[in-house]
A and B are shown apart, each in its own frame.
Chain A
Amino acid sequence: MYEFEFSRPTGMQEALAAVAGGAQPLSGGMTLLPVLKQRLNMPDAVVSLTAIPEMKGVKAEGKLLTIGAATPHAVVAREAAAHYPALAKLAGGIGDPMVRNRGTIGGSIANNDPSACYPSAVLASGATIRTNKRSINADQFFEGLFTTALEEGEIITAVQFPIPLRAAYVKFDQPASRFALTGVFVAQYSTGVRVAVTGASDNGVFRWTEAETALSTRFTPEALGGVSLSPAGMMRDLHGTPDYRAHLAGVLCRRAVAAAI
């Protein structure tokens, strides 16, 4: 780690000023800290977003669940359980207790790791990402591998999830990191079913539209009978081939539907 100036403001304006001045925003640090430790990044200043009250907490209002960007996974696992159990379960299955008590939802989706869990929930829920500047629909937010619609100096303040009728997330662990080797989030709304797949594609989280169409007609595992995902564009690494990941997406999607109904 190189030397840098560190601040942990309690007010949003102070934090935004720091970011505007070039400071690197830090939330739970689950990705940024290892990168800094390995000296792969050299910010002059780092500003922590974790002491700003309005960026923290879980709040349910009607059919909308709002989660402050700096809310750790463990808090979501606990406090979202009554409102959006599938999301709470996803949060409770990320990493290990240390990760869940440090890592935050905002940090996870801003990083958009292609194997992270949260992007699948955000995309499958059609959530709205609120930033200091605007609101971004999930469909416009995730732009590819470690890439999002966030602009320079823009930080996520909260994520608003429309609460689905039924939903479930099923993840198949990469055995070392316990990120998703492949993970599928299925959410049923009155307007239709949304399916998001993480861990599989070379291009990060994506919506599986064929599965959505099939499940919007009939929300059962059997409805996926004729649906399969092409291995083209899927990831290849030590832990799985494109064929395997495409196959897993199908298996996990069926299991997610079974868990949801």
Chain B
Amino acid sequence: MPKDGIGAPTKRREDLRFLTGNGRYTDDINLKGQLYAHFIRSEVAHGQLNSVSTTAAEAMPGVVRIFTGEDFVTIGSIPCGWQVTDRFGAPMQEPRHPVLAHGKVRHVGDPIAVVVAESLAEARDAAEAVEIDITELPPVLDMKAALAPDAPKVHEELTSNLCYDWGFVEENKSAVDAAFASAAHVVSLELVNNRLIANPMEPRVAVGEYNAWDDQSTLYTTSQNPHVIRLLMGAFVLGIPEHKLRVVAPDVGGGFGTKIFHYAEEAFVTFASRQLKRPVKWTSTRMEAFVSDAHGRDHVTKIELALDAEHNFTALRTDTYANMGAYLSTFAPSVPTWLHGTLMAGNYKTPLIYVNVKAVFTNTVPVDAYRGAGRPEATFQLERLVDKAARELGVSPIELRRQNFIKPDQFPYQTPVAVVYDTGNYHATLDKLIEISDHAGFEARALESKARGKLRGFGIAHYIEACGIAPSHLVGQLGARAGLYESATVRVNATGSISVFTGSHSHGQGHETSFAQVVADMIGIPATQIDIVHGDTANTPMGMGTYGSRSLAVGGSAIVRATEKIVNKAKKIAAHLLEAAEADIELKDGKFSVAGTDKSVDWAGVTLAAYVPHNYPLESLEPGLEETAFYDPSNFTYPSGGYGCEVEVDPETGEVTILAFSAADDFGNIVNPLIVEGQVHGGIGQGIGQALLEHAVYDDQGQLLSGSLMDYAMPRALHVPFFRVDHSSCTPCTHNPLGVKGCGEAGAIGSPPAVVNAVIDALHRGGYTGIKHIDMPLSPARVWAAMQNS
């Protein structure tokens, strides 16, 4: 077995180039004759776009062409990849999403015109000479107000600002209501899941290139899924067939969901490069990113839990308003519905659940998936509510959870919200959490804090998530306009080295390391003999990309399937070389041997024979050693875990300090524990950011107040403690060949409720027992205000 196979905490090989400044990002790509695009964006939230006059600007130095919405009237709308069906069986309202605004502007940042010039400075100079006439309209901002009958409409062609009114499971609604009517206890909570902006370190960039002599377009873009962009943009927006369109996503500096979607700027540079027969480049500024990258979260929810006299959960009911923003981003409709409602059972055996979601158009930046996508929203409301229930019933939040957990012997477990959890052991992760967080020593630590005038609190949260997205036939029924398989081609070279071409894109996840470990393990050769290639539609098979913690579970499984084909064929070659029966050939440590004999041939001997087939069974076997597999999962995977947070609140200022954070996760089998730990660290960091710091705030005119890093607070090193991370509680996934579940989003899902529960605990211990809830982010000012009002 290679020492860098499955289970080895190998350091990430890609870090060598990243840490030495040798990554090759989209902005590093500069093509001969390249032009620069500068987007002129709406400065008002809502307005009638009367005219765009470019005459003066076109005469400015360096200007090649100025595009406006008129240029895109006959071009396709930016498509939405998911159609949700409402409670009454009707499809969601789906407005046109033009590449450049036409007739109206619908959010601050909505692109109106683009100046393409020889230099960026000339493009910006000319942009100031473009005359835009807008009649401002009253902005639609508050979701509930947006649904009033007399509310101004974001899209005139729709009947209202309601995208859909979704009920799940609609057939359960009356039974759920009946259970509430007869409940011994009902606990309810109203809360906001704060709007976030992902802020990957690398802003978005797009470079379009067109070669007229072979009618070939190439788009270089900061994407998590180049094939998806090729399909959406090629087929639905610009009408370019796949063989004439190549999409390359080179090194990408963080995605967090916001780089899944197909954006107007990608379609623009591709279109403009075809029109102008020259490459066109656009690089987002940080401030532009704030008003053009899809935002995340932004739910307003009322959640209620019914319990019987013994504190068993009997029913759960939620009512959520989900902000879609001004247009439907690629997967926006799926986030508050199928990625949210299906998770409302959490880790609990609540028999009856009804989820209602009203998705609403507003004059704000579109909202779509952000690390966790729907699952953090589900987990936050449920885990806050369970904590509140324990407090109101006067029982331990730990014991109330344990009592209502699905038991280890109940798996596979059919939830009342459609999904079937294959494996899990929530009691084990909770026990492990209590151990690693030293819960037993908490009271002593709380006394020590009290002596210093500080309020210490301990909060836990348990989460479930559906990852490994997803079975194609199932998501097709749910409204996805895409399959969600993954692909891999394993190309064995003549001397035995291997190039693996995967549809999973890596933008911080360490695939180049962990995927190589999988192949190394299966063949028994060092991982250093294997390279992972991704991010270019020209050389990788059609793949669906990276999101939803799916890469190892789905993409890794495709690699396993392709490698199995390789091994099967290699065994046939080895059998021929060793003059033995194929059934007697064993592969171990990179060597094929005949069972029960000392006859063997090593890996390179077989691979050389495949490409120099002199002594080779050509009559029954093709030469070469290259296989492709497409893997479509049969179920989601269900990572779960228990998170514990210990905080100190300064009662004088309301400042929250996180002293300790523990995570006990069940990710199934682990390929690289070092990478898994890093993913959990990053996820918790982002969850702490949501809980304490981050908030995208609009004023009543639809201006983004937190429109730069001077006002949008990102977590820094000083905001996070050293984490205690454990993933020894392992119930392998039963339906993928690696038994893996996915770890990319867990930290961001489980941590916000743990942090808030800890703060509420601290405040109650300090005597502020009137505080039922504080909406995130728990800034010092908000915590202090809650203390004043309690």
Contact = CB atoms under 8 A, between A and B. Distances in A.
A175 B713 contact: yes
A39 B126 CA distance: 13
B784 A247 contact: yes
A248 interface: yes
B652 A251 contact: yes
A239 B710 CA distance: 11
Contacts of A172: 653, 655, 780
A1 to B, nearest CB: 8
B785 A241 contact: yes
B706 interface: yes
B697 interface: yes
B697 A176 contact: no
Determine the main DSSP class of B at the interface with A: loop
B712 A176 contact: yes
Interface in B123-155: 124-125, 128
B695 interface: yes
Given A238-B695, A238-B706, A241-B785, A248 B779 contact: no
A251 B706 contact: no
Interface string B691-726: 001010100000001100111111000000000000
A177 B716 CA distance: 12
A208 interface: no
A177 B779 contact: no
B709 A244 contact: no
A251 B785 CA distance: 15
Given A175-B713, A176-B713, A177-B711, A251 B653 contact: yes
A240 interface: yes
A176 B779 CA distance: 11
Given A244-B784, A244-B785, A176 B652 contact: no
A258 to B, nearest CB: 12
Contact of B697 (A2, A238, A251): A238
Contacts of B706: 176, 238
B714 A240 contact: no
A175 B693 contact: yes
Contacts of B713: 175-176
B781 interface: yes
A172 B780 CA distance: 10
A251 B714 CA distance: 26
Nearest to B697: A238
Nearest to B709: A176
A240 B705 CA distance: 14
Given A244-B781, A244-B785, A176 B705 contact: no
Contacts of A248: 653
A245 to B, nearest CB: 9
Interface residues of B, number: 26
B172 to A, nearest CB: 41
A39 B697 contact: no
Interface string B708-749: 011111100000000000000000000000000000000000
B705 A238 contact: yes
Interface string A147-174: 0000000000000000000000000100
Nearest to A96: B716
A220 B652 CA distance: 18
Given A39-B124, A248-B653, A251-B652, A238 B711 contact: yes
Interface string B649-661: 0001111000000
A247 B706 CA distance: 24
B710 A241 contact: no
Nearest to A37: B285
Contacts of B125: 2
Contacts of A177: 709-711
Interface string A18-58: 00000000000000000000110000000000000000000
B204 to A, nearest CB: 19
B652 A239 contact: no
A238 to B, nearest CB: 6
B17 to A, nearest CB: 24
Interface of A: 1-2, 38-39, 172, 175-177, 181, 237-241, 243-244, 247-248, 251
Interface of B: 121, 124-125, 128, 287, 652-655, 693, 695, 697, 705-706, 709-714, 779-781, 784-785, 788
18 contacts: A1-B121, A2-B125, A39-B124, A172-B655, A175-B779, A176-B709, A176-B712, A176-B713, A176-B714, A181-B780, A238-B705, A238-B711, A240-B780, A243-B788, A244-B654, A244-B784, A251-B652, A251-B653
Given A247-B784, A251-B652, 17 more contacts: A1-B121, A2-B125, A172-B653, A172-B655, A176-B693, A176-B709, A176-B711, A176-B712, A176-B713, A237-B711, A238-B705, A238-B711, A241-B781, A243-B788, A244-B654, A244-B784, A251-B653
Closest 7 CB pairs of A and B: A176-B713, A175-B713, A177-B710, A240-B781, A244-B781, A251-B652, A176-B711
